[in-house]
Structure 1
Amino acid sequence: MDSGQALFDKLWQDYINRLCPSAHKVHALLEEGQPLINDHIALRTFGLPKVGLEVLARPFLALGYQQKGDYTFEAKKLNACHFEHPDPLMPKVFISELMVEQCSPALQAIVEKLVAQVDASSLTGSDFLHQGRLWDLDWATYQTLAEESEYASWVAAHGYGANHFTVSVNQLNAHDDCLSVNNRLRDNGFAINESGGEVKGDASVYLEQSSTMADRVPVAFSDDTQTIPGGFYEFAKRYVLPNGELYQGFVAASADKIFESTH
């Protein structure tokens, strides 16, 4: 667990420094005298062999994680899997990839050029998971990608790092559900993702989720620095299954709307 915790600590530092600086404020609002339990993190990538989902999964599999669920988001052209560790205190990991071959020839050409800049040897170990962008990108190319796929432009601009961390609402005493958390955050100036409703899912699917809208963060492109959506913070409440165990999976319809926190 120690090496696993070290990886999540590095992902957390990158997340709060580069992608979601407001995470400190969320912690201050929700912590109740003990560290917040992280339900899961999410990582994004391009679905090309050199940098695909399986490449991002390798460091977690090496830590003892096991692949559990598979998900497809047809409208967004995304494929995803989630991974769990035998130690229930370790966060779940949700990894998604853009199915590049389903995108326009123009987008495919751009992404292939970006990925061609990556030295495959830099993808061994786990450090690349929190090292940001591994390619050069100019502002106009980012805008071109954004016109077709917000997801593609996000990965192109930010590279690798946690798109979000997730507070386990089950741990909280002051809040019984995601709506209560949302109200607390809204009262303190946070914007909540209301795509598909501000709370996605409910007890009938054994999982409810909500999230802030992404922080806007400065990103240095090769020719300019621009402020664009970065990472966001998610909140998840899990319900007990008929067999008495807590539901550990994800709900595709809810996750589809959570992706829009970076719009």
Structure 2
Amino acid sequence: MDLNCDLGETVDEQPTADDAAMFAQISSANIACGFHAGDADSMKASCDLAVQHGVAIGAHVSYLDTANFGRSDVDIDRATLIEHLVEQIETLTRIADAAGAVVRYVKPHGALYNRIARDAERADAVAEAVASCGPLPLMGLPESRIADAASDHGLSFYREAFVDRAYTAHGMLVPRGEPGALVSADAVAERAVAIVAERAVVAVTGERIRLDVDSLCVHGDTPGAVRMATEVRAALEASAITIASVAS
């Protein structure tokens, strides 16, 4: 099972996560490309850490929205969105190449990630942009609009689950700010093993929903993220589940 984390998310040159500690625990890193967080220096540092730890690199693309950390939906036309996504992927690709690494997939961030899970038109724009850059695999929610769009554009799709976020009965993430949106740190490791072993998760409203995935995510900026990632990895390995990148 792949274990991924959103990293390189500096704000005003200040880190929002303990990147060095997180890279030691994960198999794939979604590196911020400057549009919601991060800059050239943080991208380079992240790529260097990825090489050091043998971690696969993904482009963590976003709306151009540093003020809201990419977590507010943006009204943007299709052509501009595609242009912005291509710019982010190409920027990280150049920096990764200089570090002796390769960008292996793309994972949209925040509000864009949530929007393309349900909005077929915007999902198609994202898939078109990614298809023009390689093409590269996409990572997102299973059985979502972006999964369909990836297939339409001939892209591989990596199905992702969040061990530190709650789900609705429809398999979507409970919006941040709503009650129960964040999972208790003490429950994350057990939840991760259950998702992999049982291919299911319990929704915030109590329903048990099927969840077939290729990758598990721990958010780097969640309080106690390093502890959670360490415990998730240990719990998976104790259950004879090998940690390896889906994109390597």
After TM superposition, the score normalised by the length of structure 2 is 0.30
Structure with the greater alpha carbon radius of gyration: 1
Q: Which has the higher strand share?
A: 1
